[in-house]
Amino acid sequence: MEKISIEDVKHVAKLAELDLTEEEINKFVDQLNIVLEHAGKISEIDTSGVEPTSHAIDFKNVFRDDIVKKSVNKEDALSNSQKIVQDLFELPLMIEE
């Protein structure tokens, strides 16, 4: 089975906006390989003839009607923001992307 490399961990860390030290990277390479190896046991099972599935429960078509419900009030909505400006969640200064 393919193994997770240092490069893989760096790539995933970058995508997740994480700054990792060399030490942490090495630690995660080992840990993730153990996880992957464990999950890889599944491939030992013969699944020919089994439809691929994305969910463990056999539910389909769970919907709600298009009905407006009361929203939370503005103060509660903003209460988790570190800084508020003009009733908006204030962001650190952004650079053009």
Which chain residues interact with another protein by CB under 8 A? 11, 14-17, 54-55, 57, 59-74, 77-78, 80, 85-91, 93-94, 96-97
- By beta-carbon proximity to another protein, the closer residue of 34 and 84 is 84
> What is the four-CA torsion angle of 53, 54, 55, 58, rounded to 10 degrees?
-40
- By beta-carbon proximity to another protein, the closer residue of 22 and 96 is 96
Asked if 37 and 26 count as a contact pair (C-beta separation under 8 A), the reply is no
- By beta-carbon proximity to another protein, the closer residue of 23 and 97 is 97
Asked if 4 and 31 count as a contact pair (C-beta separation under 8 A), the reply is no
